[in-house]
Amino acid sequence: MLETWTRTPDSVLNRFGSLSLSFRKRNAVNFSSTSLVFAQGLHSIEEYFGKLYEVFPPARLLSGLVSKDLRIGFLIINIGLFIFGLCSWFIPVRRNHLSARGLIWLWIAIEMINGIGHPIWALSVGAYVPGVATAPLLLILAVYLSRRLWRLDSGMG
């Protein structure tokens, strides 16, 4: 019985509750998801220095909920997001746990929204907005990673 569990297709769980992916496929997903987390870190730095928390109402609201000082609130949220991303990669993604795909798809959705939203906002105001310079990187990485996962999920490897 152990032998059948260790020889299952990529989409089937092995006996440890993790997804059985080849080393090469797992490394590509690990590298891509880690790259996306670090790109988000760069994006957050750009947003911080561009003072997104002063010019974008949702960022202003969230930052204000965390601290009276919007700058501090924004830092806390973004450092928390970055740490969450690292923890998501370090524990479930790197270890190929069942929750890894869901977390990766969550990151993909967040970064696609960022990657599309910032340029649309910049075009609508006709000027630079904090985050627009790094938004294309987020979109490219998110699309690449989504294609990788889509191929794995559909069995095309």
* Residue 27 and residue 89 in contact, taking contact as beta carbons nearer than 8 Å: no
The letter for the amino acid at 80 is G
* pLDDT of 21: 52
* DSSP 8-state symbol, 13: B
Q: What pLDDT is attached to residue 156?
A: 60
pLDDT, residue 40, reads: 97
For position 41, what pLDDT does the model report? 97
Other Cβ atoms less than 10 A from the Cβ of 134: the count is: 21
Coil/strand/helix, residue 19: strand
pLDDT tens series, the chain, 157 aa = 333 334 444 444 444 444 455 556 667 777 888 999 999 999 999 999 999 999 999 999 999 999 999 999 999 999 999 999 999 888 877 777 778 888 889 999 999 999 999 999 999 999 999 999 999 999 999 999 999 888 876 666 5
Distance of CA 42 to the CA centre of its chain: 12
The pLDDT of residue 96 is 75
Using an 8 Å Cβ cutoff, are 51 and 132 in contact?
no
Q: So what's the pLDDT on residue 75?
A: 98
